Amino acid sequence: MEEETKRKFINIVGVKHVKLTQAQLLAYSYDATANFQAKADLVISPKDTEEIVEIVKLCAMERIPIVSRGSGTNLAAGTVPTQGGIILLFNRMNQIKELDKENLMITVQPGVITQEISNYVEEHGFFYPPDPSSMKISTIGGNVSENSGGLRGLKYGVTKDYVKALTVVLPDGSIVKTGGKLAKDVAGYDLTSLLVGSEGTLGIICEITLKIIPLPIHKKTGIAYFHSLEDAAETVSAIIESKIIPVTLEFMDRGTMDAVEEFMGLGLPEDAEAMLLMEQDGDIELVERDLQTMIKIAIEKGAKATAIAASTEEADLLKTGRRSALSALSRKRPTTILEDATVPRSEIANMVRAIQAIAIKHNVQISTFGHAGDGNLHPTCLTDIRNHEEMRRVEQALAEIFEVAISLGGTITGEHGVGEMKAPYLEWKLGESGIQLMKQIKQAIDPLNIMNPGKIFAKETKPRLVIQNG
Amino acid sequence: MVSELQQRMQESFVEHVNEEYIMDCMRCGFCLPACPTYMATDQDETHSPRGRIALMKAMRDGDVVWDGSIEEAFDVCLGCRACEPACPAGVQYGTLIEETRFAVQQVKPQTIKEKGLRNVAFNHLFADQKKMATTIKFFHFYQNSGLQKMTRKIGFLDLFPPFMKEMESVLPKIKSKQNSPVSSQPKLTNVAFFTGCLMDTLFQETNRKTIVLLEQLGAKVHIPKEQQCCGALHGHSGELDKGIQNARANIDAFDSDDYDYIVNNAGGCGAFLSEYQKHLQSDKHYKDKAARFSKKSIDISSLFVKLGLNDLLKTGQSDNESIVTYQDSCHLRNVNQVFHEPRTLLQNAPGFEYKELIDAGSCCGSAGIYNLLQPEMATRILDTKMKGVKDLKPTIIVTSNPGCLMQMQVGIQREGLQKEMTAMHIVDFLFNVMGKNKIIGVELNV
């Protein structure tokens, strides 16, 4: 980037809010995705929407890519500046602006940490349910851009179910306000929904209004340990079939349990092949009844042991263990590559079986955990990026997992986003006409392709695999 | 064209910074909220553990060229190691930053002044207990002769950076040294006391009280004469090789089957002592001895609890409920996982109500000699800490490490709260409580 251009950026936000040194650019060259790294030309921290407008206009004029970045916990290389350009941070736009108790809405800036929103509304007796595993670190802007899920998705849905209004700076520098504090709103296309999960490719989100709900009075957590992954998966299907919608139905296999145990020392049994974490909230009677029923179903399906968390602290420890699963798994091998394949809930047992078979077939180490109740699994390949032969097998195994998920009516990503990592596989899920439609939308809104270029849409689609049955 | 410095620096990183440890980091970011410098810099990834590890890797791989910005990123790290318990992947960050500083130190051109300072500090002062004692004697003279008062009066200290000045004014009054066990009757538990170089000089009173309390609790206290500085300060400053020399000397000094425990009363030392094992794992002569040493190493609060001090404290009765709080020593908490024991002691202290300080587990900015090297960042972190203190309004802030103690004292002074509160080492605090409440039959010399 020309010195002259850098000066223009500095003029917008002030020299204190631009990062330019070698160390700084390197420290913003990655996110939580293995094997992706690239340096931006400059990292910038605007203080408000007006400064963002100026930045976007400058980028449009000079054709400079803009990558919006929260805390850089992305798992699909969505915030890696692979095309150079600038990284836009929200560390100065991190205020909770308003809690509207009458409308049950909270308005926040994109840089607020998700956990802070959760704590803040709970202090006032309200509840913001979406709770991605990284919620202690991730920003709400990142969550909205990725449409993040979490552990409570089964009963409460994901981020998009709570976003009611957005203020967005479009690639030409114009400001658009979508939605409103409204229970109903059918005025034209639903632009809010289009922008949620758009991974920074359509505009810069500058303000977010979220729906909140009353805080459930009571909650309780149970665990069940199983002899096999299939028993656990079948328990999940049976629970949902019995007309219970629990808050949480989380699953961890043997390998994941080992890693979490090493980090947290929770006392997880060494002889179980899988565990389910089950949580229900609501009125005391309902919570007790549902939890008892879930435990009963688990035992019927062959659970070797079950337990109910004695206290909130114990329940929180178990959930923290589950949240740390991915990072804890990276203890085992130098590189962890995780997937996010999602299938209809009814197919969860089939998917689990298929993953096991794929791991054996390609001779790769895969540990699986995830939001079983949502059909959203996180098969994680434990490997070493320096071993090229092994990496080739890993890539084949992951491609095969995508293929199986799609054949079961599923998708290549449930909650992590496409980013750059899964872009070559997107067409497998969408088909040619699906991807064409999306490209036309992108072209209409961002004709200069300055908004997070290289993400979602790949230059080339991976050739599809031919899979034998089984 | 790669410069010679760059080439040597890269080679030094490749040689000294363990690639496998770097690969343990999967960049999930779970360390970020735990890192005081990340939080104090409006979330600057450059000053986060994840960012620094990425920089270590980039140095190894030749993806960056050594410059001031990279050096600063490593220098600004407090070394508090709060990222370690937060890391699900079990990254050994403390080792990585020590190795990094060592790698840099091997190659970095030093000014003559810096060379001289380092030489005095690491090759002589902290390497030799006697020299330390002599230096401190001079300091003692400086304090007692009125010279200190005079230099303070004429503003001699204005010549130093402001933080130095604040630090100097909270240095404890030194009394002349006389470290001998108070009682000599045979006891049940044999405890070897690691006196620590700062604790043994500037904080000698605290050491005396440590011995008295241990003896009152039925321990026989031994003070091996040949002991040295633990080596932590060397290790944190890129002189790990010299730190390891001290480790060997200490292992020899304390190598006796008679000792049940090797106790220390400084969190920073304790962590390093417990890691002798790690540092000497490939030294075939010292490997086993180091493991024995580290296994016996224990902090004073944990030993007090083991020796039943909590039960004794409970026998005391007093209505005067002043508020006491606790600022964790980072290394005691993050490396040795000791945070419960000191709190239980304070909770049981008669006459006091224990209240938890917000973010007590996060660094105060002292971090060894960090506050002297990075005064601006240290002050920023301290000021945040003091906000919590002002909300809580304690009478006493208890600490477990001399650096933290002085830093909290500076914080109190900066806020002008000297009349309302004070900072104390946990041993001094417990000694006072025991004395005041006549908990032990023997009258303590308070």
Give me the residue spans of the domains in chain B.
4-107, 117-169, 189-304, 313-436
pLDDT in the model for residue A470: 39
Tell me the CATH number of domain A218-324, given options 3.30.70.2190, 3.30.365.10, 2.130.10.10, 2.60.200.30.
Answer: 3.30.70.2190
Shortest alpha-carbon distance between residue B82 and chain A (Å): 15
Question: What rounded mean pLDDT belongs to chain B?
Answer: 84
CATH class of A1-215: alpha beta
Where do the structural domains in chain A lie, given as residue ranges?
1-215, 218-324, 329-445
Nearest CA to A268 among A284, A278, A256? A256
For the residues B198-215, what does the mean pLDDT come to?
84
Residue B388 pLDDT > 60, yes or no?
Answer: yes
**Is the predicted pLDDT of residue A73 greater than 80, yes or no?**
yes
Q: Helices in A324-457 by DSSP H: which ranges? A: 325-329, 348-361, 388-407, 426-445
pLDDT at B231 over 50: yes
Residue A461 pLDDT: 85
**Interval B267-284: pLDDT, tens:** 999 999 999 999 999 999
Residue B203 has pLDDT above 50, yes or no: yes
Options 3.90.340.10, 3.40.50.1000, 3.40.1190.20, 3.30.70.2740; CATH of A329-445: 3.30.70.2740
**Chain B CB within 8 Å of residue A464 CB:** no
Q: Which residue would you say has higher pLDDT here, A374 or B165?
A: A374
DSSP labels, B119-160: IIIIIIITT-HHHHHHHHHHHHHHHHTSHHHHHHHTTGGGGS
Compute the distance between CA of residue B208 and CA of residue B19 in angstroms, rounded to an integer. 45
- Ranges of beta strands (E only) in A90-182 are 96-100, 105-108, 126-127, 163-169, 175-179
- The whole-number average pLDDT for the span B234-245 is 88
Percent share of chain B, pLDDT over 90: 64
Please report the pLDDT score of residue B167 as a whole number. Answer: 52
Residue A145 pLDDT exceeds 90: yes
Give the whole-angstrom CA distance, residue A289 versus residue A287: 6
Q: Is the pLDDT of residue B171 over 80?
A: no
Q: Which of A238-252, A455-469, B7-21, B422-436 has the lowest mean pLDDT?
A: A455-469
**Of A166-170, B123-127, B350-354, B426-430, which range is least confident?**
B123-127
Which residues, 6+ apart, have CB-to-CB distance to B139 below 8 Å? B174, B201, B202
> In angstroms, rounded to a whole number, what is the distance separating the alpha carbons of residues A85 and A174?
20
Equal fold, A1-215 vs A218-324: no
Residue A140 touches chain B, beta carbons under 8 Å: no
From the number of C-beta atoms within 10 Å of its C-beta (0-12, 13-18, 19+), residue B175 rates as exposed
Contact B273, B244 (CB under 8 A): no
pLDDT attached to residue B446: 43
Residue-wise pLDDT tens digits, A165-200: 999 999 999 999 999 999 999 999 999 999 999 999
Mutate: best of B46, B52, B91, partner A, most A CBs <10 A: B46
Q: Does pLDDT of A373 surpass 60?
A: yes
Q: What is the ipTM of this complex?
A: 0.94
Q: Which of A27, A71, A336 lies nearest to residue B54, judging by beta carbons?
A: A27
A30 CA: distance to closest CA in chain B (Å): 8
Q: Which residues of A touch B73 (CB under 8 A)?
A: 23, 27
Q: Which two tokens stand for residue A44?
A: 């910038």
Terminus-to-terminus CA distance in chain A, angstroms?
52
Instruction: Write out chain A residues lying below 8 Å of B58, CB-based.
Output: 26
Q: Kindly give the interhelix angle for A348-361 and A388-407, rounded to the nearest 10 degrees.
A: 150
What pLDDT, in 10s, does the model give residues B130-164? 555 555 554 454 455 444 543 443 333 343 344 44
Query: What confidence tens digit (pLDDT) does each residue in B68-109 have?
Result: 999 999 999 999 999 999 999 999 999 999 999 999 999 987
Q: Kindly report, residue by residue over A89-102, the tens digit of the pLDDT.
A: 999 999 999 999 99
The pLDDT value recorded for residue B255 is 86
- The pLDDT of residue B356 is 97
pLDDT at B258: 84
The CATH fold assigned to B4-107 is: Fumarate Reductase Iron-sulfur Protein; Chain B, domain 2 (1.10.1060)
What is the length of chain B? 446
pLDDT of A212 strictly over 90: yes
What is the share, in percent, of chain B residues with pLDDT greater than 70?
A: 80
Single out the residue of B177, B183, B168 nearest to residue B204, CA to CA: B177
- DSSP reduced 3-state for A42: strand
Q: Is the pLDDT of residue B128 over 90?
A: no
Report the mean per-residue pLDDT for chain A: 95
pLDDT digits (tens, 9 = 90+) for A223-274: 999 999 889 999 999 999 999 999 999 999 999 999 999 999 999 999 999 9
Instruction: For chain A, positions 235-254, list CB contacts with chain B under 8 A.
Output: none
Integer angstrom CA distances of residue A255 from A258, A269, A303, A317, A371: 5, 12, 18, 19, 16
Q: Looking at residues B211-215, what average pLDDT do you find?
A: 92
Q: Is the pLDDT of residue A51 over 90?
A: yes
Same fold, B4-107 and B313-436: no
Contact in structure between A274 and A226 (CB atoms under 8 Å): yes
Minimum distance, in Å, between the CA of residue B213 and any CA atom of chain A: 34
Q: What CATH number was assigned to the domain covering residues B313-436?
A: 3.40.50
pLDDT band for B182, please (50, 70, 90 cuts). very low
> Which residues, listed in sequence order, are joined to residue A167 by a DSSP beta bridge?
A177, A207
Spatial neighbors of B152 by CB under 8 A, at least 6 apart, are B169
The angle that helices B267-274 and B287-296 make with each other, rounded to 10 degrees, is 140
- d(CA A359, CA B61) in angstroms, rounded, equals 31
Establish if B283 touches chain A: CB-CB under 8 angstroms.
Answer: no
Compute CA distances B242 → A435, B95, B282, B316, whole Å: 62, 15, 16, 46
